[in-house]
Amino acid sequence: RRMRARAPFAPSRIAHRAHTARAHRVRSRRASSARVRMSTTHHDDRWRSASTLKTIETNDDCDAARRTNDAKWVVVGAKDALLENGAFARRAFGTNERAARTFERLVESLDANATRSTVLETASEDDEGLLELVVCVMPEKSKMSRHNSPIAAHAMTAAAKAAIGDRKKRRAVVLAAVDEEAHCVGALAALARISAPYTNKFRAADAVVDGEVYVGVVCGGEIWNGAETRSLPKAVRRCQSLVDMAPNELSPDAFVDEAKVVAGELGASVKVVEIKRYAQLVEEGYGCLAGVGSASSRDGRDPALVHLRFTPKGCVDPDAPSIAFVGKGITFDTGGLSLKSKDGMCGMKTDMGGAAGMLCAFESIAREDAESNFKTPLDLVLCIAENAIGSGAIRPDDILVGKSGKTVEINNTDAEGRLVLADGVAYCSDPANAACKPRVIVDMATLTGAQMIATGRKHAGLVTDSEDMEHTVVRLGRITGDLAHALPYAPEMFKSEFSSKVADMKNSVADRANAQSSCAGQFIANHLHPDWVARDDTAWIHLDMAGPGNFKDGLGSGYGVALLNALYKEIDSRPQ
């Protein structure tokens, strides 16, 4: 039974335990003014999480939070941003100069990557009481390498997540300090990840739920209130929830239903163009996607190709060239007949992280339509299947015919992600497909374990046929905190890895020591329509996010939502 949530920031008489273990009972003098307006709630009751997340979107929100005695405050940022002309301290502590001085002395005493907590006396002419404060100091930008986020976004997430862990029933108020507006989105995305939205643990009827989490970004002494504060956090959290959901909950049918739910929430600007299921996929030649989902379809878990389209209010021509997001949505991956080990199979519910990131990035972009002037249509294509074993499973040595018309000899049924994406990009790039006319195709997938060997757990592997897009994605990755690092794009070197004596190509490489992640991306590119590739106004981008799609503890990170949101805006802002 879900506990009733209290009004946000409603002051109350509470027992406040300091690190000295002394209990202090305090009450705000200005109870009537300590109520904050309802900020955006980034939550869905279906996630069953222990707490909700909301954004602090105005200076008044921050002032009201300061007058709340049942909150644990967490502050994260580099020293320069936290101490910048005293602006952050004034925003956080208002007219309470003693609290501001104590805070600044604490910050000055800390080295980078250090965390310290204290209790501040918040008594002033406006309010009285004590405030538990945790300060997490991030490295300065000058100390960050060129391949990292300048605000140390990953460290920011880890520090804030650890700091709110013991809040129990208290609310947590988390403020990130940045010194440039360009980094506000990255800080917001970092904070959106700190409270896992999904759980399926038993909860007794009288269980005490964890307190709400409020997050905000301070830049130049003011609460940042960009459109992303209302679009990104829920989208990031939805992505995390989908990745963490058990495969018996997130079946192919359930994933299709989730796409419909998102489309319904977004209103008239989003249209469900079509949803193809197993029989239609087979009939229309989507042999790769249908093949991967063939075994599970025998039990009623049909594969699907889902196409949603967002037409922004600023779009003059709805038929103008679009941007297409194509996501791998393998709801569970046994490996097929090339069966994974018992240890290797655990966690394969997360193999739909690419499609989850694409769906949620699409959601975040459409949610900003009312506050923005986007012009470019956005197509979302989800390639959803379960790679199961059974009488209908594809076999090594089988030959599949993809939507591109090219034949694929199967030499590894556990290299299924590239198969479903092959049909996805063929669908998007087909000149005969009037429903989708993109000038940029972006595919994203938890594709290869080799990606983690090549670029690690925090950087996605990036393969693209456009040098401009390569630089753009890497730059936006550093800004948003969804890091990406370029891998070689060299079709002339990698196509031979898929040579087959009986088909156009095999689906897995001959030499596993030869740039596997680049080769996997190249397999997908092999199924782009040649007429689309030959145009001088198109670009293909592939993101392999097997590593950054999850935190090290296995929970979903929400990777890709902020990056793709920024990438869409970058492309949309350019002249066609």
Q: Report the distance separating Cα 232 and Cα 559, nearest Å.
A: 12
Residue matched to tokens 């502050």: 75
Catalytic residue selected from 170, 276, 328, 418: 418
Do 53 and 215 form a contact (C-beta atoms < 8 A)?
yes
Which three-class secondary structure state does DSSP give residue 250?
A: coil
Q: Report the distance separating Cα 151 and Cα 135, nearest Å.
A: 15
Cβ atoms within 10 Å of 180's Cβ, excluding its own: 13
Amino acid letter at 266? L
Cβ atoms within 10 Å of 227's Cβ, excluding its own: 17
Which three-class secondary structure state does DSSP give residue 268?
A: helix
State yes or no: is 340 an active-site residue. yes
Do 158 and 57 form a contact (C-beta atoms < 8 A)?
no
Q: Report the distance separating Cα 351 and Cα 332, nearest Å.
A: 6
Helix (H) or strand (E) holding 14, with range, is strand 14-17
CA atoms 485, 490, 496, 500: torsion sign: positive
Q: Report the distance separating Cα 564 and Cα 368, nearest Å.
A: 14
Alpha helices, DSSP H, located in 193-271: 228-244, 252-266
Do 389 and 339 form a contact (C-beta atoms < 8 A)?
yes
- Phi-psi sector, 335: left (phi>0), alpha (psi -120 to 50), beta: left
- Secondary structure E strands in 161-319: 171-178, 213-219, 222-223, 270-277, 304-310
Do 16 and 25 form a contact (C-beta atoms < 8 A)?
yes
* 213-219/130-138 β-pairing: unpaired
Alpha helices, DSSP H, located in 94-152: 97-109
Catalytic residue selected from 35, 340, 375, 457: 340
State yes or no: is 418 an active-site residue. yes
Alpha helices, DSSP H, located in 386-529: 417-429, 450-455, 467-480, 491-494, 516-525
Rounded to 10°, the helix 561-573/184-192 angle is: 150
Instruction: Select from 361, 411, 414 the least CA-distant residue to 562.
Output: 361
Annotated catalytic sites, by residue? 340, 418
